Amino acid sequence: MTTYTSQPAESDGLDSYYSEGSPTSNNGTSDKFYIGNSSKNRGILKFDLTKGTNPPPTGAIVIGTPQIELYCGGYRTSKTLAAYECLKNWVESQVTWNIYSTGNNWDTAGGDYDATALGSVAVSSTGTKTITLPTSIVQKWIDTQNFGVILKHTSEADNTNDYVSSSGATASERPKLTFEYTTSSRKSVLGVLSASIKKIAGVAIASVKKVGGVA
């Protein structure tokens, strides 16, 4: 089992925020995500899985509990912050409320995303907030496409809260992704179990436990 960690600085970070109130403004170099308010500020975030500590190789299998950590540096209102799978291949230096890249409009202004939240966290103070993700979305990022997440409050009204971006001055407060993975394939593990059971049926249970522990 291997642990992957990514907490990039501005040079490698991919994040921005945009607002319905300023629909053509790009904020890819901002040191904060502003999220919330009746202007519907939303954040957008992606981790380059080829960078960071222990990048997962092709065929890696995600296990454990993937997590995104965000640091709320400006708290003004109690909200639930949620992450949604982004459905378009956006560009940090170009994305706005209206477009995901130059010349390419979102299908729906404000961002195209799966309506079911991947995970959420209650925000009632400043400090680190952790959103737990399903293993399936991180597996998708490894195997097929990685368009990251759109971040928004589940109720987009009242005041904004702001969260530190990869451009933030304090490294420990920048967005962080962690997850564990293995490079043992499901197919090969199941093959070993099957062979053990057939070979020594009398001690099959002991063999299964031993192989499962190694896998």
Please give the average per-residue pLDDT across 106-110, as a whole number: 98
Give the model's pLDDT for residue 215: 43
Q: How far, in Å, CA of 75 to CA of 160, rounded?
A: 8
pLDDT level of residue 98 (50, 70, 90 thresholds)? very high
The b/e string for 164-183 (b: 16+ C-beta within 10 A; e otherwise) is bbbbbeeeebbbbbbbbbbe
Does residue 213 carry a pLDDT above 70?
A: no
- Among 160, 163, 166, 19, CA closest to 95: 19
Rg, the chain, Cα only: 20
| Position with higher pLDDT, 24 vs 193 | 24
pLDDT in tens, 177-192: 999 999 976 544 334 3
pLDDT level of residue 85 (50, 70, 90 thresholds)? very high
Helix axes 186-199, 204-214, angle to 10 degrees: 160
pLDDT in tens, 115-171: 999 999 999 999 999 999 999 999 999 999 999 999 999 999 888 999 999 999 999
| pTM for the whole structure | 0.85
Say how many C-beta atoms besides its own lie within 10 A of residue 30's C-beta: 16
pLDDT level of residue 38 (50, 70, 90 thresholds)? confident
CATH architecture of 2-183: Sandwich (2.60)
* pLDDT > 70 in the chain, percent: 86
| Position with higher pLDDT, 121 vs 204 | 121
- Among 84, 83, 79, 102, CA closest to 28: 102
- Among 184, 151, 192, CA closest to 68: 151
Give the model's pLDDT for residue 64: 87
Domain ranges for the chain:
2-183, 185-215
- Listing DSSP states for the chain in one string gives -EEEEE---TTT-EEEEEETTBTT---TT-SEEEEETTTTEEEEEE--TTSSBSPPPTT-EEEEEEEEEEEEEE--S-EEEEEEEB-S---TTT--SSEEETTEE-SSTT--B-SS-SEEEEE-SSEEEEEE--HHHHHHHHHT----EEEEESS--S-EEEEE-TT-S-GGGS-EEEEEEE-S-HHHHHHHHHHHHHH-GGGHHHHHHHHHHH-
Residues 122, 114 contacting (CB under 8 angstroms): no
